[in-house]
Amino acid sequence: MGQPVNVGVVGCGAISAQYFPTIDRLPGLRLVAVADLDPDRAREAVRPYPGVDVLTVAELVTDPRVDVVLNLTIPAAHTEIALQAIAAGKDVYSEKPLAATAEEAERVLRAADAARVRVGCAPDTVLGTGTQTARKAIDDGLIGTPIAATATMITPGHERWHPNPDFYYLPGGGPLLDMGPYYVTSLVTLLGPVASVIGAASRTRSKRVIGSGPRQGEEIPVTVDTHVTGVLVHASGALSTLVMSFDGTATRASNIEVHGEKGSLVVPDPNHFDGSVLVSGADGWQDLPASAGYVEAGRGVGLADFASTPAGQEPRAGGALAFHVLDVMEALLSSAHTGVAVTITSTCERPPPVYLRPSEEA
Ligand SMILES: NC(=O)c1ccc[n+]([C@@H]2O[C@H](COP(=O)([O-])OP(=O)(O)OC[C@H]3O[C@@H](n4cnc5c(N)ncnc54)[C@H](O)[C@@H]3O)[C@@H](O)[C@H]2O)c1
């Protein structure tokens, strides 16, 4: 392996605490600088990592040491930060969703093309052993031709635990745009791109109450649908039924199941890297040992995979996949509001599979 890729992080909130240890651990990445609207938050976040500079966003994106900008801001700021990084000639890898709207995401991809830089995007959880082992099982023909899948995420809402949950109820948030990227990216990884969708959605409350932290008890406005359901018609003909809710309280449904002509698979939580994959057979459900994916991965492994992807090749956690996923989610909401099925005009390749290997080899 050559020199590590130098990473500059913009946005040092809740999720940055999961990225920093991964960047620290993986030999392909080196954290050189961070920035946040709140410089004290940035300073505090990198206290365990001596030698990391705290800069302004403008300083960070133009810093000649920074090879790739890791954009961990809230969804409403993803586009602004990505465009700043691209304008400075830097590759950019954003947290999900790629942007708050598909129109904004398109602007980011166009700017990156023109500047000949690359765009990557979370989630990278689907590169872990959970989704990758399930994908290998499908590719190896264990369940025959896939016919259908179900994807279910039901929670009362992140305001119970997140100290600043406003963004979950603003454009770019809601259960679909927040959690949907894990599920739809996993479904596209397993079953390929989506050709059309039909959706339905509801919103139970106009306000939510923050449940923890210094703002506990404060009311925040809800401007997005909080229960979204629908069907994704994959180009392969397989049908995925999706339920994403911040309005329910609990579920015992599998996060994802895939049903084929010969058998069925239970796929673990796509918000996690690992977990049990179960396959149905004559003797009931059996655990499949991990057979593909990055082992013991953490958030940031997709950035390392992105950084090590040869020039001219689309990264696994790449802009084309993230754009297609956002396009599908937006179409689902649009269909929910019009009651009409929507044809998806974007598409993407299924990302290449990850063979079983330590995440240090990403
Ligand atoms: N919190 C989680 O568990 C979690 C999990 C997975 C993914 N994510 C994703 O990570 C992203 C960030 O989420 P979070 O929970 O860390 O949010 P957060 O609000 O805790 O942190 C976001 C940080 O970005 C900074 N910021 C916002 N706009 C900025 C700008 N224009 N310039 C510089 N800094 C700016 C804020 O000051 C804040 O410190 C979101 O896209 C979210 O979907 C979060």
At the second CATH level, the architecture of 126-289+324-343 is: 2-Layer Sandwich (3.30)
pLDDT at 338: 98
Mutation pick for ligand 1 pocket among 10, 12, 15, 220 (CB with most ligand atoms within 8 Å): 15
Which tokens hold the place of 88?
């400075």
CB 22 within 8 A of CB 358: no
Which tokens hold the place of 153?
């995420």
pLDDT for 110-130, tens place per residue?
A: 999 999 999 999 999 999 999
Intervals of the chain under pLDDT 50: none
Distance of CA 247 to the CA centre of its chain: 21
Q: In the chain, list all ranges with CATH 3.30.360.10.
A: 126-289+324-343
Burial of 148 (0-12, 13-18, 19+ CB in 10 A): middle
Distance of CA 190 to the CA centre of its chain: 15
Nearest CA to ligand 1 atom 15: 14
Ligand 1: centre distance to CA 73 (Å): 4
Which tokens hold the place of 189?
């990884």
Residue 132 per-residue DSSP state:
H
Interatomic CA distance for residues 100 and 293, integer angstroms:
29
pLDDT at 1: 57
Relative to the CA of 271, which ligand 1 atom is closest? 6
Q: Alpha carbon of 97 to those of 65, 94, 181, 281: distances in Å?
A: 27, 8, 7, 37
Residue 165 per-residue DSSP state:
G
Closest CA to 300 of 1, 20, 8: 20
Interatomic CA distance for residues 1 and 21, integer angstroms:
20
Relative to the CA of 299, which ligand 1 atom is closest? 6
pLDDT at 2: 76
Q: Alpha carbon of 13 to those of 7, 36, 125, 254, 357: distances in Å?
A: 17, 8, 19, 30, 30
Relative to the CA of 38, which ligand 1 atom is closest? 37
The answer to whether the CB of 14 is under 6 A from ligand 1 is yes
Q: In the chain, list all ranges with CATH 3.40.50.720.
A: 5-121
Angle at CA 105, nearest 5°, toward 15 and 94?
25
**Topology given in CATH for the domain delimited by 5-121:** Rossmann fold (3.40.50)
Relative to the CA of 94, which ligand 1 atom is closest? 41
Mutation pick for ligand 1 pocket among 54, 59, 72 (CB with most ligand atoms within 8 Å): 72
Render the burial of 37-65: b for 16+ CB within 10 Å, e for the rest: eeeeebeebbeeeeebbbbebeebbbbee
